[in-house]
Structure 1
């Protein structure tokens, strides 16, 4: 999905799969156009290329790209000669030559380092107060939990009196998480609430292990705040372990499918456009 100044750009598809940009759907361009990019599949990258080249064709200036979720963010290094896929995507976006790029909650610092004229916007810092208000978070007695060292580093400036960090024990052969240990003072845990905070959830395995460790310490209510949630969160057992998931629509597209509606009371989705306006 691509929007320019709040209006969705339309495409048609030829019988052979080629895409046609419906330029009339773009309409009049503002002086400093904002392009909002939501990655849903690989065809969206081709759409982005068509849109930016068309904007160049009509001499639009000051183009500001908002990337809701940076595609291929998890492939942010080359190990044993593996493809450095994030770098390839960053090179592609750099080639399009936007005047400004704003990445919502990047998975690592590598994303912004690879992109030209880019900044990161960590919206979990904006959302955490809304989550606390909704669940009745007690600053003196309830907890925030970061499921690993990476999340702890990313959000270490998030204000909280009681903080726990997860330490994952993995199978050395498969990399599968076998257990998760809590690091920090859990003396106030019994009957309390905990908010797990991270950037991204796929199937939710890390958060299931986190919730199990928290409940073993006596926590009564477990919540999850992740900026990005893939459609796969509905596929396994995440909602059996988490009382409520707070996320945005930067990635989600299937929350209204009939089979996923059963989770609607356990799911709070912030509209990313509203978050950006209010932020």
Structure 2
């Protein structure tokens, strides 16, 4: 389930409450049950955790939060590792809708005590969401570093390099690219420091992966400049990665992919193979 409910104890310990049940009517509207019987509502502290899979969950979040508020729960926080629409943090053309701004307005209208997020795409989303707090991403990236054992870290652009390089002592560099904003096509791509990656294992680090075109070209760029192997860590990973070339090691040259927050539902009770199973989930 994408939305879970936790009680917060005196020392901020969290206990999951298996008290939310969401079903769907034939017209695709939700039937939601939230059981909070047996709690002293006047002192209850709750946290909602929303592990985003699709936009329809936002309506469920609104219904559940407003229900708890109507019941008199005085303190409700939200943990939302992934911020939907976060990549749309600017508009470049008059016909573009600033979806991130309006999404943030919806979240703010629910008046959470806090909103915890993981590795926000940019400071714009952090500025737009009230009482937002960043979860420390460094320990998660360190787990990927410990597993892959790179000699050098690589960030796809200078902004990512400024964000991540100061977290670690390993040498690092970044790519410089020009892109068509409307199509997303990368026009040109080159290394800021060409001699740093030769004969080195390199781990690429960034916040999110969709189809993965940037990382495909990054891996090629690194290998063309002498890297012996490449790995990839992304905090948030969409299932759209399966529609690109990253999971094909022969094409991408990427030895291992890591993510802390897979943005898809995987039924672990089935033995049916999925290419997404090749991605190591860190948590």
Shorter-chain TM-score above 0.5: yes
Q: Spell out the pairing of 1:188-267 with structure 2 (5 A cutoff).
A: 189-190=198-199, 192-239=200-247, 240=249, 241=252, 242-254=254-266, 261-262=274-275, 264=277, 266-267=278-279
**TM-aligned CA deviation for residue 62 of structure 1:** 2.1
Structure 1: tracts of 5 or more residues without a match: 272-279
**TM-aligned CA deviation for residue 200 of structure 1:** 0.2
Structure 2: tracts of 5 or more residues without a match: 7-15
**TM-aligned CA deviation for residue 128 of structure 1:** 2.3
CA deviations over 1:201-255 (Å, ceiling 9, x no partner): 0011000000001111221221111000000111121022211111023513258
Query: CA RMSD, aligned part only?
Result: 2.4
After TM superposition, the score normalised by the length of structure 2 is: 0.85
Asked if 1:180 is matched to 2:189, the reply is: yes
Distance in 2, Cα, partners of 1:43 & 1:122: 28
Asked if 1:21 is matched to 2:21, the reply is: no
**TM-aligned CA deviation for residue 24 of structure 1:** 2.9
Q: Which shows bigger deviation, 2-11 or 108-117?
A: 2-11
* Helix, strand or coil at the partner of 1:222: strand
**TM-aligned CA deviation for residue 135 of structure 1:** 2.2
After TM superposition, the score normalised by the length of structure 1 is: 0.86
2:114 match: 100
Kindly indicate whether the alpha-carbon contact (under 8 Å) linking 1:169 and 1:180 is maintained by their aligned counterparts in 2.
yes
Q: Spell out the pairing of 1:35-184 with structure 2 (5 A cutoff).
A: 35-81=48-94, 82-123=96-137, 125-137=138-150, 142-170=151-179, 174-184=183-193
* Helix, strand or coil at the partner of 2:45: coil
- Aligned residue pairs, count: 264
